[in-house]
Structure 1
Amino acid sequence: MNPGRYRVTVVLDGRRTLRGWWNAEPVARRQFAGLVGQYGRPGAHVILADEETGETLTEWPDGA
């Protein structure tokens, strides 16, 4: 089973803490925003990537 095209990763203090996959980009973007709201603090990095293209779609903080 394919876990989903869009992956959100949360890194806290240099350690990958959480990853999730979604098939629909709008759903993944909502999850990304929610995780930024929940984990957004100094030392955190949240990334939304397209697993099919390998492209980083967005990240927090910007340009991290």
Structure 2
Amino acid sequence: MDDERFHLLLTAGGRPVMHGWWGKQPTAEHQYLSWIGSWGSIKGARIVLTERADDGERVLASWPGDP
């Protein structure tokens, strides 16, 4: 198992604030929802969950939606 397959990134005002890596998608999705609840009220917050694959990364979810 790849412990750094799913990446979660919180930015505010376009600058990185915090990030984390998880090996299991359900855990990463749970953290994604938790971060929205905990950090979503920060002005300019954006939270993106990606999955690392052989051909790069793909976005699984983003909050608040795609610009």
TM-score, length of structure 2 as denominator length: 0.85
Please state how far the C-alpha of 1:58 moved relative to its aligned partner.
Answer: 0.3
Structure 1 unaligned blocks of 5 or more:
none
TM-score, length of structure 1 as denominator length: 0.88
- Greater C-alpha Rg: 2
The root-mean-square deviation of aligned C-alpha atoms, in Å, is: 1.4
Moved over 4 A (4+): none
Aligned length: 63
Is the contact made by 2:3 and 2:24 (CA closer than 8 Å) also made in structure 1?
no
Structure 2 unaligned blocks of 5 or more:
none
Please state how far the C-alpha of 1:50 moved relative to its aligned partner.
Answer: 0.4
SS at match of 2:65: coil
Which residue is 1:32 aligned to?
Answer: 32
Deviations along 1:19-55, whole A, 9 cap, x unmatched? 1000000000000000011111240000000012511
- Which structure's residues are more often strand, by fraction? 2
Which residue is 1:43 aligned to?
Answer: 44
